């Protein structure tokens, strides 16, 4: 998984509780991404980062926030989890954006269940 | 609407056989098309990336084709192995920004001995 770890790998939580997922990379890549994967949907981008403290929204950002205080760490926070946020969350990294040969490398995923 | 559609949704083949997976897209403007392999419980792994000027790209037993005129791509797997059992995801980039990737829902391939 290209030097990417996600924690926790599995989590069960209750509606209304805050949840933070962590992505850690050892590749020193500039770009980091959070996606969610749900049955019947392709991977959908939640937020991404193009550098320390530089983040932007993706396609499905409502209800999520992110932070990146160090190159190697990208945190995804659900301020008040809802059942619709039950999903598998993937972190990805890439060395550059905009290059035709750019490749995103994905982490192993975090399975989140909100009861 | 920018969409990526894959067919079939699922496929079962016997070990050693060949198969072809299809991807049709309506994404515009088009930058490049990628195929990823996703094993169960794992993150996707890149197989190929093709720009509009590339018709074919191979990665071992995997060969991807692209017809930018008809907006179709295929992934051909030769001499399938049990380890090919996975989901194969077609991804189209709308522009030169990787935040503009449109993911298909994937084809679930199962290879049986």
Q: Is the pLDDT of residue A2 over 70?
A: no
Q: Is the pLDDT of residue B98 over 60?
A: no
Mean pLDDT value across residues A38-60: 92
Mean pLDDT value across residues A77-83: 96
Interface test with A, best of B37, B43, B44 (most A CBs within 10 A): B43
Q: What is the pLDDT of residue B27?
A: 85
Nearest to A17 by CA among A87, A84, A82: A82
A91 three-class SS: strand
Q: What is the pLDDT of residue A99?
A: 60
Higher pLDDT, B52 or A49: A49
Residues 73-112 of A with CB under 8 A from B: 90, 92, 94, 97-109
Confidence of residue B105 (pLDDT cuts 50, 70, 90): very high
Question: Nearest residue of A to residue B103 by CA position?
Answer: A42
Q: What is the pLDDT of residue B97?
A: 61
Residues 2-21 of B with CB under 8 A from A: 4
Rounded Cα distance, B81 and B10, in Å:
16
- As a whole number, the mean pLDDT across chain B is 92
Could you report the per-residue pLDDT of B88-97, keeping only the tens digit for each? 999 998 876 6
A59-96 CB burial, b ≥16 within 10 A, e <16? ebbeebebebeeebebbbebeebeeebbbbbbbbbbee
In contact, A43 and A59? CB cutoff 8 Å:
no
Q: Is the pLDDT of residue A1 over 60?
A: no
Q: What is the pLDDT of residue B80?
A: 97
Beta-bridge partners for A33: A48, A92
Question: Nearest residue of B to residue A42 by CA position?
Answer: B105
Q: Cβ contact (<8 Å) for B42 and A90? A: no
- Which residues of B are less than 8 Å from A94 in CB distance? 98
Residue B87 Cα distances to A10, B23, B24, B98, B108, angstroms: 21, 13, 17, 21, 4
- As a whole number, the mean pLDDT across chain A is 92
Rounded Cα distance, B47 and B16, in Å:
20
Q: Cβ contact (<8 Å) for B45 and A31? A: no
Handedness of CA B28, A35, B97, B35 (dihedral sign): negative
Could you report the per-residue pLDDT of B4-41, keeping only the tens digit for each? 999 999 999 999 999 999 999 998 888 889 999 999 99
Q: Is the pLDDT of residue B112 over 80?
A: yes
Confidence of residue A98 (pLDDT cuts 50, 70, 90): low
């Amino acid at each position: 998984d290209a030097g990417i770890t996600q924690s926790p790998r599995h989590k069960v939580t209750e509606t209304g509780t805050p949840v933070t997922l962590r992505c850690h990379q050892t590749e020193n890549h500039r770009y980091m991404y959070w996606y969610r994967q749900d049955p019947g949907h392709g991977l959908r981008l939640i937020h991404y980062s193009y550098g320390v403290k530089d983040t932007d929204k993706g396609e499905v950002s409502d209800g999520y926030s992110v932070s990146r205080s160090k190159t190697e760490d990208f945190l995804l926070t659900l301020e008040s989890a809802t059942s619709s946020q039950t999903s598998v969350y993937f972190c990805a990294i890439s060395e550059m954006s905009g290059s035709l040969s750019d490749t995103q490398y994905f982490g192993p995923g975090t399975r989140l269940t909100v009861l | 609407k920018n969409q990526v559609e894959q067919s079939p949704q699922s496929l079962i083949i016997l070990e050693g056989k060949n198969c072809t997976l299809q991807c049709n897209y309506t994404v515009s403007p088009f930058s490049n098309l990628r195929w990823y392999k996703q094993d169960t419980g794992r993150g996707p792994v890149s197989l190929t990336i093709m720009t509009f000027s590339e018709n074919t790209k191979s990665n071992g037993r995997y060969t991807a084709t692209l017809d930018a005129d008809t907006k179709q791509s295929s992934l051909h797997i030769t001499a399938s192995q049990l380890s090919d059992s996975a989901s194969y995801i077609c991804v189209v980039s709308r522009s030169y920004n990787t935040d503009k990737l449109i993911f298909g829902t994937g084809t679930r391939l199962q290879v049986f001995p």
